[in-house]
A and B are shown apart, each in its own frame.
Chain A
Amino acid sequence: MEQIQTLNGVPLKKQIARALFKQKVRALLLIAPLLIFILITFVVPITDMLMRSVDNSIVSNTLPQTTTSLETWDPKSGNLPDEAAYAALYNDLKLAIEQKNHTKLGSRLNYESSGMSSLFRKVGKDVSKMQPTTGYKEQFIAADKAWGDIKTWTTFKLYSSKYTNGYFLAAIDMKKTPDGAEMLPASERIYLNLFVRTIFMSLVITGLCLLLGYPIAWLLANLPMRTSNLLMILVLLPFWTSLLVRTSAWKVLLQQQGVINDILVWLGIVSNSGRLELINNQFGTLVAMTHILLPFMILPLYSVMRTIPPTYVRAAKSLGATDWTTFWRVYFPQTIAGIGAGAILTFILAIGYYITPELVGGTQGTFISNRIAYHISSSLNWGMAAALGTILLTLVLVLYWVYDKIVGIDKVKLG
């Protein structure tokens, strides 16, 4: 087929592409400041944090020769590595001790095998006393018998690669062994249970918010301006109050010597010795979180309900529909967009919450985010925190996708 050409002999297609390209560049330049801002302040830090869930370069960086010499060693053989591996270890450690990196590696490996921390702290002194000739194997084992333990070397071998799936395995209650991944004994499993609990309780909280928020939003949208404004202030006032204040207020209300129990005892509904346990359990988390997240359900619902003309309901009734039919067939379908927005907001906020569950959740009402916070600030196992965070993020994205398939994200409306 003959090509269409412009006056100056360039093919038309090319000319159009060139013009479009210019337009695209201009558009890109216009949004560039925002794009760069988002990249630097949002995408880069998050990616960096998530990369920690697989990063394991500290082992091969600190012990380069040792990891190479262990390549041929098989932990399943039941024999300790040969003299060459010990010599390599000596050389690596000598350098690491000079740069004071050995204790850092000890902290890292201690996450995988208890005792590494002090083994590496001690080795600083041990290595300086060793004779740099031969017989490193005997010298190491004489300094600490852990160097003659096959478990120590298996840990080195399992965690010698630059990237590891160890954190992810640990995050789903598994561990690495020479024979592949294995489930932890039941007495050490915590995370799977927590993930299930977090999702389940977040769903319940979202459901409760919807149940309580729907009528309130309806009132707000349908009452005369004066009353609805007053109600709106009542909704917003707690929204503006500090989270900690609201959580502490629930403590005062719900604890065993608290206001609610006192009233129940005074009314004679429960006996003084049989005061109800309303806090430091799942119930406490459900109550406090529902209260805290309620505005996030009410506000989108309200803004959608405001746009529904009252004439529809009146028309339905005048055509003979019962109250229920009017609500269910005419009014409710029009609020779906608001429910969608409210539910997704509350659910995503709930699934990542940790302050309130920590304060009122006791042992049964805490979330996976509490463990993430623990690993970030207390155990300092950031790799583990990153792995748990990545799983949580993936779960939210999957649920979002499912939601999109069922409800349709284009139907979600904030007003």
Chain B
Amino acid sequence: MKLKPIFAAVSIATFSSGLLAADMAKEMTIVSWGGAYSNSQLKAYHEPYMAANAGFKIINDESSNEAVAKLRAMAEAKNITWDLVDVEGPDSQRLCDEGLAMEIDFDKDLAAGKDGSTPTKDFGDSLINKCFIPQIVFSTTFGYRTDVPEWNGKKPEDLCAVFDTTTFPGKRSLEKRPKKNLEWALLCDGVEKAKLYEVLSTPEGVDKALAKLDTIKKDVIWWSAGAETPQRLADKEVVIGSTYNGRLFDVIEEKKQPVAMLWDYQIFDFDGWVVPAGLPEDRKARVLDYLKVSTDTQRLADQAKYISYGPARASSQPLVGKHATLGIEMAPHMPSNPENAKRFLVNNIEWWSNNEDEMNKKFEAWLAK
């Protein structure tokens, strides 16, 4: 059985050597999220790849937050200007459903793990659909200020502190969409984790969740961009707020603000690449070549040196080291660190792809009340 991955690796090697560099496009446009995240990709993926391929250029675009809409528009105009797009798991599902993203043959197109495991096994559960090549695991979780005088020295220890405005008075920052908020509200209203989506699938369940959110509604400032919560925490505008764990790492470790993490019931998500469908051969060859190199075990582990998001490959986990400039060990800051992941949820893409439209209507109507 051990032969299989080796055989796969050999066949990959012969396949890629069959492609001459001359057949591949000389530049590619990579779309990502910008800021610290794009920078981590530049350092961990782009720079090594460009160093190995002289004369090749990467053009960066920071449109990931509207990637799906733009890709759809490009496909309709039959003019696809992007080569590789960084999107979150749910968006990749959408792109795959609409035929806007190319299907990937994981075992053929990606490199085997450093420990010899096949890509399918190495990426495991993070392969959520046929088009998505995962890079990182990130989570949406809470951060709180550690210097609130009204809290009398108490510290939030579990998720429900968010809903407890008597012990922990002050403004909260929550995302202006139903996803994640409804789950957290139900968890703190006594619903078991295992029954969460069963309850949410009933109208009464949604009402229950919204009623729980009602108890803190007047204390919530809603956010729509991930950078808002860290900014509000730093400005003392809010005392506790949800955002992506990497943003909190930045405000705590790099900006040295008096903020701490509340990892309880963090919600895991994957972020990764999709290749737009219908690329010409030379560009496709280049993208696949780039993908194979940049998503291997070492490259994924390298990215964690620059940002506190965990690599999606199992084989990369042991290679996660110290932060490139701060010099601190990154493992304790990873969402997947056992200490942080005592209780967690995984973004239920399937349920949300079915119910997001309806939930949104109810949530918006509730917000406007």
Does residue A187 face the partner (Cβ distance < 8 Å to B)? yes
Residues of A within 8 A of B304 (CB): none
Please choose the segment from A26-34, A79-87, A309-317, A356-364 that sits at the chain B interface, where 4 or more of its residues have CB less than 8 A away: A356-364
Are A107 and B368 in contact, with the CB atoms below 8 A?
no
A103–B237 touching, CB < 8 Å:
no
CB atoms of A377 and B361 under 8 A apart:
no
Known: A188-B365, A193-B368, A380-B69. A114 touches B222 (CB 8 A): no
Please state if A104 and B98 are interface contacts (CB–CB under 8 Å): yes
Do A187 and B366 have beta carbons less than 8 Å apart?
yes
- How many angstroms from the CA of A166 to the CA of B134 in the assembled complex? 37
Q: Kindly specify which of A63-71, A115-123, A147-155, A224-232 makes contact with the partner chain.
A: A115-123
Judge if B339 is at the interface, Cβ distance under 8 Å: no
In the complex, the number of residue pairs spanning A and B with C-beta atoms less than 8 Å apart equals: 78
Name the segment of B79-87, B185-193, B352-360 touching the other chain: B352-360
> A103–B96 Cα gap in the complex (Å)?
8
Q: Which of B96, B99, B176, B361 contacts A188 (CB 8 A)?
A: B361
Report the separation of the CA atoms of residues A184 and B354 in the bound assembly, to the nearest whole angstrom.
19
**CB proximity of A245 to chain B, nearest CB, Å:** 15
> Once the chains bind, are A377 and B69 in contact (CB under 8 Å)?
yes
A363-B97 contact, Cβ under 8 Å, with A114-B358, A115-B354, A117-B353: no
Complex alpha-carbon distance, A188 and B224, angstroms: 21
Bound CA span A243–B353, Å: 34
Q: Which B residues touch A377, using CB under 8 A?
A: 65-66, 68-69
In contact, A280 and B68 (Cβ under 8 angstroms): no
Cα(A113)–Cα(B175), bound, Å: 25
Assess whether B255 is interfacial by the CB under 8 Å rule: no
Name the B residues within 8 Å of A378 (CB-CB): 69
Contact (A256, B237) CB under 8 Å given A117-B353, A117-B354: yes
Q: Does A110 sit at the interface, judged by CB under 8 A? A: yes
Measured between beta carbons, the chain A residues less than 8 angstroms from B221 are: 280, 362
User: Is A392 an interface residue, CB under 8 A from the partner?
Assistant: no
Which residues of A, 270-328, contact B by the 8 Å Cβ criterion?
280
Q: Which residue of B lies closest to A252 (CB)?
A: B235
Q: Smallest CB–CB gap between B216 and chain A, Å?
A: 13
Please determine whether A104 and B368 come into contact, CB atoms closer than 8 angstroms: no
Asked if B208 is at the interface (CB within 8 A of a chain A CB), the reply is no
**B364 adjacent to A257 (CB under 8 Å):** no
**How many Å lie between the Cα of A187 and that of B236 in the bound state?**
34
Taking a contact as CB atoms closer than 8 A, the residue among A104, A116, A363 that contacts B222 in the complex is A363
**B283 on interface, CB distance cutoff 8 Å:** no
Which residues does chain A contribute within 8 Å of B98, judged by CB atoms?
A: 103-104, 107
Q: A107-B94, A190-B368 are in contact. Are A379 and B99 (CB under 8 A)?
A: no
| Residues on A with beta carbons closer than 8 Å to the beta carbon of B237 | 255-257
**Chain B window 339-358, contacts with chain A (Cβ cutoff 8 Å), 1 for yes, 0 for no:** 00000000000100111111
Cα A101 to Cα B237 in complex, Å, equals 48
Note all chain B residues with C-beta closer than 8 A to A100.
99
- Chain A residues positioned under 8 Å from B364 (CB to CB): 190, 371
Across the interface, do A106 and B368 meet the contact criterion of CB distance under 8 Å? no
Assess the B222–A362 pair: CB atoms within 8 A: yes
Residues of B within 8 A of A358 (CB): 224
* A111 in the interface (beta carbon within 8 A): yes
> At the interface, yes or no: A376 with Cβ under 8 Å from chain B?
yes
- How many residues of chain B have a CB within 8 Å of chain A? 33
Contact A121 B357, CB 8 Å, known A255-B237, A364-B368, A380-B69: no
- Is the CB–CB distance between A107 and B97 below 8 Å? yes
B171 within 8 A of A: yes
* Chain A residues with CB under 8 A of B358: 114
Nearest-CB distance from B278 to chain A (Å)? 12
Q: Does B362 contact A (CB under 8 A)?
A: yes
Using an 8 Å CB-CB cutoff, how does the interface string of A59-101 with B read, 1 for contact, 0 for none? 0000000000000000000000000000000000000000011
CB contacts (< 8 Å) of A380 on chain B: these are: 68-69, 72, 94
The answer to whether the Cβ of B367 comes within 8 Å of any Cβ in the partner chain is: yes
Q: Are A257 and B99 in contact (CB under 8 A)?
A: no
Asked whether any CB of chain B lies closer than 8 Å to the CB of A381, the reply is: yes
CB distance from A376 to the nearest CB of B (A): 6
Residues of chain B within 8 A (CB-CB) of A187 are: 362, 365-366
The answer on a CB contact under 8 Å between B66 and A188 is: no
Contact of B97 among A114, A121, A186 (CB under 8 A): A121
Complex contact A103–B99 (CB within 8 A):
yes
The complex places the Cα of A257 from the Cα of B368 at a distance, in Å, of 25
Whether A189 lies near B365 (C-beta < 8 A) is yes
Q: Which residue of A lies closest to B98 (CB)?
A: A104
**Hey, which chain A residues are within 8 Å of B365, CB to CB?**
186-190
Q: Are B357 and A363 in contact (CB under 8 A)?
A: no
Known: A188-B362, A256-B237, A381-B357. A363 touches B69 (CB 8 A): no
Contacts of A103 in B (CB 8 A): 96-99
Complex Cα distance, B277 from A100, in Å, reads 12
Q: Mark A123-141, 1 if CB is under 8 A from B, else 0.
A: 0000000000000000000
List CB contacts (< 8 Å) of B47-69 with chain A: 65-66, 68-69
Most central of A186, A187, A379 by chain B CB within 10 Å? A187
- Which A residues are CB-close (under 8 A) to B68? 377, 380
Report 9 cross-chain contacts, Cβ distance below 8 Å, ordered by A residue. Answer: A103-B99, A107-B98, A187-B362, A187-B366, A190-B364, A255-B237, A256-B237, A363-B176, A379-B357
What 8 A-B pairs come out closest when comparing CB atoms? A103-B97, A363-B367, A377-B69, A377-B66, A114-B358, A190-B364, A188-B361, A115-B354
Residues of B within 8 A of A (CB): 65-66, 68-69, 72, 94, 96-99, 171, 176, 221-222, 224, 235-237, 350, 353-358, 360-362, 364-368
Known: A280-B221, A364-B368. 19 other contacts (CB 8 A): A103-B96, A103-B99, A107-B94, A110-B357, A116-B354, A117-B97, A187-B366, A189-B365, A190-B368, A257-B235, A257-B236, A358-B224, A362-B221, A362-B222, A376-B69, A377-B68, A379-B360, A380-B68, A380-B72
